[in-house]
Amino acid sequence: MTVAVSRTQAFPPYELLDVEDPLAASTSFDATVARAQAKTRKLERLYHQTQAHAWNPTQVLDELEAKHGGIHLAEEKREAVGELFSVILWGELAAWNIAADLARELPDLEAKMAATGQVFDEARHFTVLRDYMKRAGVRVPPLNPYGRKVLLRIIETDSLMEKLYGMQLLVENMALSIFKRVAASGVEPVLSELLVYIERDESRHVALGVLHLPAMVSKATALERARNLKFNLELFALTVLGGQYLDPYLRTLGVDHRELGHTSLRLHQQVLKEMSSEMGLAPGEHVRGIYSLAKWQQRLLLDWLHPEKPIEQLAPVHQATLRWFDRGVRRAAKWMATS
Ligand SMILES: [Fe+2]
Ligand SMILES: [Fe+2]
Q: Are 267 and 177 in contact (CB under 8 A)?
A: yes
Q: How far is the CA of 302 from the centre of ligand 2 (A)?
A: 26
Rounded Cα–Cα distance for residues 258 and 310 (Å): 12
pLDDT score, position 4 = 45
pLDDT score, position 64 = 98
Kindly tell me if the per-residue pLDDT of 274 is higher than 90. Answer: no
Ligand nearest the Cα atom of residue 98: 2
Length in residues, the chain: 339
CA angle at 128 for the pair 123 and 129, rounded to the nearest 5°: 105
pLDDT score, position 276 = 84
Rounded Cα–Cα distance for residues 289 and 228 (Å): 6
Could you read off the pLDDT of 142-188 as tens digits, one per residue? 999 999 999 999 999 999 999 999 998 889 889 999 999 998 888 99
Kindly tell me if the per-residue pLDDT of 26 is higher than 90. Answer: no
More confident residue, 4 or 244: 244
Burial of 104 (0-12, 13-18, 19+ CB in 10 A): exposed
Ligand nearest the Cα atom of residue 93: 1
CB contact burial 321-337 (16+ within 10 A = b; e otherwise): ebeeeeeebeeebeeee
Could you read off the pLDDT of 257-270 as tens digits, one per residue? 999 999 998 888 88
pLDDT score, position 31 = 66
Q: How far is the CA of 35 from the centre of ligand 1 (A)?
A: 28
Kindly tell me if the per-residue pLDDT of 107 is higher than 90. Answer: no
Q: What is the CA radius of gyration of the chain?
A: 21
Q: Are 185 and 23 in contact (CB under 8 A)?
A: no
Ligand nearest the Cα atom of residue 115: 2
Q: How far is the CA of 141 from the centre of ligand 2 (A)?
A: 22
* Residues in CB range of 120: below 8 A, 6 or more apart: 50, 54
pLDDT score, position 9 = 66
More confident residue, 187 or 2: 187
CB contact burial 41-52 (16+ within 10 A = b; e otherwise): ebbebbbebbee
Q: How far is the CA of 307 from the centre of ligand 2 (A)?
A: 30
pLDDT score, position 211 = 87
**Half-sphere exposure (CA, 13 Å, Cβ side) for 331?**
6
Kindly tell me if the per-residue pLDDT of 28 is higher than 80. Answer: no
pLDDT score, position 337 = 87
Q: How far is the CA of 17 from the centre of ligand 2 (A)?
A: 28
Rounded Cα–Cα distance for residues 287 and 220 (Å): 12
Q: How far is the CA of 334 from the centre of ligand 2 (A)?
A: 29
Q: How far is the CA of 93 from the centre of ligand 2 (A)?
A: 10
Kindly tell me if the per-residue pLDDT of 234 is higher than 50. Answer: yes
Q: How far is the CA of 230 from the centre of ligand 1 (A)?
A: 25
pLDDT score, position 1 = 39
Rounded Cα–Cα distance for residues 228 and 109 (Å): 24
Question: In the chain, which ranges are continuous DSSP H helix?
Answer: 2-9, 31-52, 57-68, 78-105, 109-136, 145-156, 160-164, 172-185, 189-219, 222-252, 257-278, 295-305, 316-338
pLDDT score, position 278 = 78
Q: Are 189 and 212 in contact (CB under 8 A)?
A: no
Highest mean pLDDT of the ranges 10-19, 53-62, 168-177, 257-266: 53-62
Q: How far is the CA of 171 from the centre of ligand 1 (A)?
A: 10
pLDDT score, position 3 = 45
**Confidence label for 201 from pLDDT (cuts 50, 70 and 90):** very high
Ligand nearest the Cα atom of residue 206: 2
* Residues in CB range of 98: below 8 A, 6 or more apart: 154, 155, 163, 167
Q: How far is the CA of 95 from the centre of ligand 2 (A)?
A: 6
**pLDDT (mean) for 63-85:** 96
Question: Which range (28-42, 97-111, 267-281) has the least confidence?
Answer: 28-42
Sign of CA dihedral 166, 324, 299, 177: negative
Q: How far is the CA of 192 from the centre of ligand 1 (A)?
A: 15
Q: Go through the domains of the chain in sequence order and give each one's CATH number.
A: 35-281+288-296 (1.10.620.20), 307-339 (no CATH)
Q: How far is the CA of 172 from the centre of ligand 1 (A)?
A: 7
Q: How far is the CA of 114 from the centre of ligand 1 (A)?
A: 14
Residues of the chain with pLDDT > 90, as a percent, come to 62
More confident residue, 151 or 338: 151
Q: What is the signed CA dihedral for 292, 295, 300, 301, rounded to 10 degrees?
A: 40
Q: How far is the CA of 96 from the centre of ligand 2 (A)?
A: 8
Q: Cis check for the bond before 12: say yes or no (omega within 30 of 0).
A: yes
Could you read off the pLDDT of 288-331 as tens digits, one per residue? 777 778 888 889 999 999 999 988 999 999 999 999 999 999 99
What is the CA 46 to chain-centroid distance, rounded?
17
What is the residue-averaged pLDDT of the chain?
Answer: 88
CA angle at 87 for the pair 190 and 69, rounded to the nearest 5°: 10
Burial of 30 (0-12, 13-18, 19+ CB in 10 A): exposed
